Amino acid sequence: MSTTRLIRIPTLDVSRQADAPAGALADLVEFMSSHQRLLVLTGAGLSTRSGIPAYRDASGQWLRRDPILYQDFMRCEITRRRYWARSFFGWQLMQQASPNAAHLALARLEKAGRISQIITQNVDGLHRAAGSDQVIELHGRLSAVSCQACGLGLERDLLQRQMETLNPDWQPEVLGYNPDGDAELDASAYPGFKVAACEACGGPLKPDVVFFGETVPGNRLQAVNQAIESSDAVLVIGSSLVVMSGYRIVRQARKLGLPVAAINDGRTRADDLLDFKLGGDCVQLLAAAVEAMLSGIESSSQPRRPAQAGHDN
Ligand SMILES: [Zn+2]
């Protein structure tokens, strides 16, 4: 079928421009329109306009100095206290974030039957908040917490209330906000913070996100592989693909012969694997492309056949 064939589009290096030229936007619309089963991979760049801090600047430089390592978190009570003290404020920022035009555009695209799967590297839950259902949260989500001793799960909001009760007078100065619901505090404040433990067994609590030094669960990777195999193209949005779990998806897709495009303001690790890349504001570009694409489909007298009527479950 001609619509699923790989289409060759000249590489468009417009990453230094604030806005993509009209022709580049048309190429993006063409790419998205010619693939019925689009796998969309999203990263931090998609959520910065929702008020979530970015991981990297346009040149790919890491913006966060000292991420907590999984092994330290599990081993060391002081590390866990530091994590939860910072998360106590970081979560308040996450709670205020709401889906932006790109999250909403992707939800609309999914409802129109044009997305096989969204895979996100973000842990902010904004795709689901926007109404998307076919979402794999590659690195988990901050809104859930579980006990590392007995496995009991609880909502992050409930834990927040427990921490508020435990720390009624603890009010350190917030120096800034980092990605993943982390706030920068004066280190002298940590010892004064009381950490909540599992109500069932007293065990340590951990957010359901993949920490540095931790691996993505096997069943989630399996779902990712299935999603790649049942898609006919990949669109990367707002990710530099520096983290291996995201880069691996693009590599796997290319191995299967799928065309891959990216909207990212700056370099990606997979630039040499991309069919084309658009620079500029990924939220604005995606929202414009989806609008152009769906209004074209909706106004067409002979609408395209939907990709697939039902979902897997
Ligand atoms: Zn427990």
For 210, other C-beta atoms within 10 Å of its C-beta total 20
153 CA to centre of ligand 1 in angstroms: 8
Judgement on whether residues 263 and 127 belong to the same structural domain of the protein: yes
Contact yes or no for 124/102 (Cβ under 8 A): no
Count, residues in the chain? 313
pLDDT value for 12: 37
The CATH number linked to 236 is 3.40.50.1220
Partners of 68 in the beta sheet? none
- Check residue 135 and report its DSSP letter: E
205 CA to centre of ligand 1 in angstroms: 8
Judgement on whether residues 238 and 154 belong to the same structural domain of the protein: no
pLDDT band at 23 (very low <50, low <70, confident <90, very high): confident
Phi–psi pair at 283, nearest 5 degrees: -65, -50
- Interval 24-41 mean pLDDT: 94
> Alpha carbon of 220 to those of 126, 226, 249: distances in Å?
19, 10, 13
pLDDT value for 266: 87
CA atoms within 13 A on the CB side of 179: 25
pLDDT value for 119: 98
- Interval 222-235 mean pLDDT: 98
Mean pLDDT is lowest, of 31-40, 165-174, 297-306, for 297-306
144 CA to centre of ligand 1 in angstroms: 14
Mean pLDDT is lowest, of 49-58, 155-164, 176-185, for 49-58
Q: Is the pLDDT of residue 313 over 70?
A: no
Judgement on whether residues 23 and 133 belong to the same structural domain of the protein: yes
The CATH number linked to 189 is 3.30.1600
- Interval 229-242 mean pLDDT: 96
Tens digit of each residue's pLDDT (9 = 90 or more) over 33-85? 999 999 999 999 999 999 888 765 555 555 556 678 999 999 999 999 999 99
Judgement on whether residues 222 and 291 belong to the same structural domain of the protein: yes
Q: Is the pLDDT of residue 24 over 90?
A: no
Q: Is the pLDDT of residue 9 over 80?
A: no
Is position 1 within any domain? no
Closest alpha carbon to 286 in 141, 179, 181, 130: 130
Catalytic residue among 35, 103, 127, 139: 139
Q: Which residues surround ligand 1, an ion (CB under 5 A)?
A: 147, 149-150, 152, 198, 200-201, 203
Q: Is the pLDDT of residue 290 over 90?
A: yes
Closest alpha carbon to 288 in 75, 151, 38, 105: 105
Radius of gyration of the chain (CA): 21
Judgement on whether residues 293 and 169 belong to the same structural domain of the protein: no
Q: How big, in percent rounded to 5, are the helix, strand and coil portions of the chain?
A: 40, 20, 40
One-letter amino acid of 166: L
Judgement on whether residues 113 and 221 belong to the same structural domain of the protein: yes
Residue 286's domain spans which residues?
Answer: 19-52+99-139+215-299
Judgement on whether residues 38 and 164 belong to the same structural domain of the protein: no
156 CA to centre of ligand 1 in angstroms: 15
SS3 45: helix
Number of folded domains that form the chain: 2
Contact yes or no for 234/260 (Cβ under 8 A): yes
Is position 308 within any domain? no
pLDDT value for 303: 47
Is position 5 within any domain? no
Is position 311 within any domain? no
pLDDT value for 153: 97
92 CA to centre of ligand 1 in angstroms: 25
Is position 88 within any domain? yes
Is position 163 within any domain? yes
Judgement on whether residues 82 and 147 belong to the same structural domain of the protein: yes
For tokens 């109404």, what's the residue?
131
122 CA to centre of ligand 1 in angstroms: 26
Judgement on whether residues 190 and 146 belong to the same structural domain of the protein: yes
> Alpha carbon of 115 to those of 79, 101, 272, 275, 313: distances in Å?
40, 17, 24, 19, 16
pLDDT band at 11 (very low <50, low <70, confident <90, very high): very low
- Interval 231-259 mean pLDDT: 95
Tens digit of each residue's pLDDT (9 = 90 or more) over 209-219? 999 899 999 99
296 CA to centre of ligand 1 in angstroms: 53
Mean pLDDT score across all residues of the chain? 87
Tens digit of each residue's pLDDT (9 = 90 or more) over 85-124? 999 999 999 999 999 999 999 999 999 999 999 999 999 9
Judgement on whether residues 26 and 110 belong to the same structural domain of the protein: yes
pTM: 0.85
Is residue 139 part of the annotated active site? The answer reads yes
- 153-155: strand order across its sheet: 153-155, 140-147, 205-209
pLDDT value for 59: 57
Judgement on whether residues 263 and 150 belong to the same structural domain of the protein: no
Q: Is the pLDDT of residue 289 over 80?
A: yes
Is position 8 within any domain? no
Judgement on whether residues 146 and 135 belong to the same structural domain of the protein: no
Last residue of a domain, one of 166, 189, 209: 209
Is position 278 within any domain? yes
